[in-house]
Amino acid sequence: MRKLALVTLAGWALASTRPARADCAPEAHLSTCFDADTLWPHAGPAYFNFIGGRATTPPGAFGLGIVATYLSRPVVLAIPSADPNGTEVVAVDHLSDATLLVSFGLTDRVDASLALPVVAYRSGSGISSLTSGRARPISYAAMRDARAGAGFRLAGCPAAVACEHPFGMAARLELSLPTGDDSFAGDQSVVVTPSLSGEWAAPPFVAGAEIGARIRNTADLAGSRVGSQVVLALGLGADVLEGGRLGFVVEAMALPTLVAQRELTFDQATGERIESGSRPRLVPAEWEAALRSADLFTDGMSLSLGAGTPLLFTGESGITSPRYRVTFSIRYTPRRRRQDAP
């Protein structure tokens, strides 16, 4: 196990220090080194899709989950060109992702987590029409950046069958590692993602919130700059059937980007795109409504199916805000018996 851990850490170190790809250069305004999907689900027990759970995985137990999502037109660019109306480039048109989530309880309050996301299918032209003048389809599948981290339960009960405490809170620190192997599938370097999530349960209602950050290098794509972001999420759920066997959930997330956005113009003399002003702040935001079922087949298993659209805080959706999203998730975390809970 120790040798395996050393090899894994060495691989992560090599991945985090790999040379930057040519399409990551910011001065060309054609960087594709960011993830087209802004939904980065946390591993471990969770009531919501956008919000991390209030509890951690019980000690000595593994938690498993799969979150699959479909996005429509998450990356569409309005490019300045010789045409006064500009040119629309659909860099990523259809996108289907799947993320395998694994967690392991280290202590009663601490767990370790791993997220392995992949692009199962996507379509679009990428930026081929901007770099070669001829549109070519983007690769159909790709690896995305893996995420590793740890969670710490600050308040409330562990993942037990029943809990008398209405409030729970957990802190997490995750690292997104640059393992993505293609454009729009990950960042050029490590992304640090601290977060704090909490839930208040007053049966049959559950309310949740999360605040966090994604601290990263900036990628500039045609003046749209994906840089460090604040992560904000809110959710409200209500169980229709006893024991949470059927519930309804509404949640929303927003990622205000902390770097300024640029307006570009096309210089016909040089054939280059140059900065000519600023544009509204990039705030990718979405809401989703979902049906949820817990303990349907076995204790500790939950399923969720939801769909949603963008929230337009700045009057336009901007890149990484899909036209709509459909999400399906299934999670399993072994539960402790109530008498075992401290």
* Residue of higher predicted confidence among 264 and 338: 264
The string of pLDDT tens digits covering residues 246-263 is 999 999 999 999 999 887
Measured in degrees and rounded to the nearest 5, phi and psi for residue 244 equal: 75, 20
Q: Is residue 6 a part of any domain in this protein?
A: no
Residue 125 is predicted with a pLDDT of 87
Residue 274 is predicted with a pLDDT of 65
Question: Mean pLDDT: which of 25-34, 235-244, 264-273 is highest?
Answer: 235-244
User: Does the pLDDT value for residue 189 go beyond 50?
Assistant: yes
5-14, 39-48, 257-266, 317-326: least confidently modelled range: 5-14
Q: Is residue 278 a part of any domain in this protein?
A: yes
Q: Is residue 241 a part of any domain in this protein?
A: yes
Q: Identify the band that residue 29 occupies on the pLDDT scale cut at 50, 70 and 90.
A: confident
Q: Which amino acid is at 107?
A: T
Q: Which of 255, 195, 193, 265 is nearest to 226 (CA)?
A: 255
Average pLDDT over residues 50-68: 94
pTM reported for the whole predicted model: 0.86
Give the rounded percent of residues in the chain with a pLDDT score beyond 90.
Answer: 58
Query: Which contacts (CB < 8 Å, 24+ apart) does range 314-317 have?
Result: 314/280, 314/281, 314/282, 314/283, 315/280, 316/280, 317/284
Q: Is residue 202 a part of any domain in this protein?
A: yes
Average pLDDT over residues 127-142: 79
Residue 83 is predicted with a pLDDT of 56
Q: Is residue 15 a part of any domain in this protein?
A: no
Q: Is residue 334 a part of any domain in this protein?
A: yes
The number of domains in the chain is: 1
Q: Using an 8 Å Cβ cutoff, are 282 and 260 in contact? A: no
Q: Is residue 252 a part of any domain in this protein?
A: yes
Q: Using an 8 Å Cβ cutoff, are 262 and 275 in contact? A: yes
Residue 200 is predicted with a pLDDT of 94
User: Does the pLDDT value for residue 157 go beyond 50?
Assistant: yes
* Residue of higher predicted confidence among 18 and 34: 34
Q: Which pair of structure tokens corresponds to residue 172?
A: 């997490």
The string of pLDDT tens digits covering residues 288-332 is 999 999 887 788 899 999 999 999 876 566 789 999 999 999 999
Question: Mean pLDDT: which of 43-47, 182-186, 269-273 is highest?
Answer: 43-47
Q: Identify the band that residue 268 occupies on the pLDDT scale cut at 50, 70 and 90.
A: low
Q: Tell me the CATH number at 291.
A: 2.40.160.40
Give the rounded percent of residues in the chain with a pLDDT score beyond 70.
Answer: 80
Report how far residue 186's alpha carbon sits from residue 184's, in angstroms, rounded to the nearest whole number: 6
* Residue of higher predicted confidence among 147 and 22: 147
Q: Which amino acid is at 78?
A: A
Residue 136 is predicted with a pLDDT of 82
Q: Is residue 169 a part of any domain in this protein?
A: yes
**Residue written as tokens 């076995």?**
298
Host domain of residue 69? 28-340
Q: Using an 8 Å Cβ cutoff, are 227 and 81 in contact? A: no
Average pLDDT over residues 221-244: 92
Q: Using an 8 Å Cβ cutoff, are 269 and 293 in contact? A: no
**Residue written as tokens 């999670």?**
331
